[in-house]
Amino acid sequence: MVMPAGDYRLKTIGAILSASLPFCMYFYGITVFSWLIPFSVFIILAYLLLYHNNISAITGLAGKGVFGIIYTGLFLSYIIGIKTTEQGGWWLLFLFSIIWSNDTFAYLIGKGFGNIKLAPQISPNKTVEGAFAGIIGGILAAIIFNTMVLKKLDLFSAVLLAIMIGILSQLGDLFESMLKRGAGVKDSGSIIPGHGGILDRIDSALIPLPFFYHFLMWS
């Protein structure tokens, strides 16, 4: 869905490059992206110049190809980055507890009590009430997890972090809905029966991942 449709060779190249990013993050750290991303751009441009005659279409195809690599491979690589930090496993659980609570509260409250549409042209089922409930659910998860397990953040930092993660999580969810509408599909794939594609399961985590990683590096 995030790669150009129709050109299966380009999709294969993009998938290989995307899959290589988490491995490179694991072995070489985040600095590897300073040359790996430009290298990926070069590979995609070289392929397009060799196999596509329509010069005017190359820019659009290249942009879609690079976007697909960044949106999937690069953002997911930050899971490895977070895991390699001190207490990385607990930090990942902290992050995903906020995201999952956000999703759960937003769905339950939005479905049961939501009246004001959040972004009807992008995702008709999402409501303002659900969005606020999701943020509150994320805050509760952050406070509970930090108090009982992590014990690394003061109350203000935990709440502020939960709010930021919650907002980014919901933006990521809306962004993927926008991509699916643009592509004219209901799900990003069909690899998980009854649940769509992998991106449908992790869309709300993609944007928070790099933010959370850099927060850990900064703090």
Q: How many domains would you assign to the chain?
A: 2
User: How many angstroms separate the CA atoms of 61 and 44, rounded?
Assistant: 9
To 10 degrees, what angle do helices 208-218 and 75-83 make? 40
Residue 72 shares a structural domain with residue 93: no
Within 10 angstroms of residue 162's Cβ, the number of other Cβ atoms is 29
pTM of the model: 0.86
Residue 45 shares a structural domain with residue 115: no
User: How many angstroms separate the CA atoms of 149 and 169, rounded?
Assistant: 22
Contact between 192 and 198 (Cβ < 8 Å)? yes
Segment 25-34 long-range contacts (CB within 8 Å, at least 24 positions apart) = 25/77, 25/78, 25/80, 25/81, 26/80, 26/84, 29/81, 29/84, 30/81, 30/213, 33/74, 33/77
Angle at 81 between CA 204 and CA 136, to 5 degrees: 35
Residue 91 shares a structural domain with residue 159: yes
| Structure confidence at residue 2 (pLDDT) | 54
User: How many angstroms separate the CA atoms of 77 and 69, rounded?
Assistant: 11
Residue owning tokens 């690899």: 191
| 135: containing domain | 86-219
Residue 92 shares a structural domain with residue 191: yes
Task: Dump pLDDT digits (tens) for 53-95.
Answer: 777 788 888 888 899 899 989 999 999 999 999 999 999 999 9
Residue type (1 letter), 118: L
Residue 166 shares a structural domain with residue 77: no
**CB half-sphere exposure, 185, CA atoms < 13 A:** 15
**CB half-sphere exposure, 77, CA atoms < 13 A:** 25
Beta strands in 63-194 (DSSP E): 117-119, 123-127
| Structure confidence at residue 134 (pLDDT) | 97
Residue 115 shares a structural domain with residue 23: no
| Structure confidence at residue 58 (pLDDT) | 84
Residue 183 shares a structural domain with residue 212: yes
| Structure confidence at residue 205 (pLDDT) | 93
Task: Dump pLDDT digits (tens) for 127-141.
Answer: 999 999 999 999 999
Residue 80 shares a structural domain with residue 108: no
| Structure confidence at residue 198 (pLDDT) | 63
Residue 57 shares a structural domain with residue 70: yes
**Of 84, 109, 129, which closes a domain?**
84
Query: Which segments in the chain show pLDDT lower than 50?
Result: 188-196
| Structure confidence at residue 190 (pLDDT) | 47
DSSP state of 72: I
| Structure confidence at residue 197 (pLDDT) | 53
Tell me phi and psi for residue 73, to 5 degrees.
-60, -50
| Structure confidence at residue 193 (pLDDT) | 47
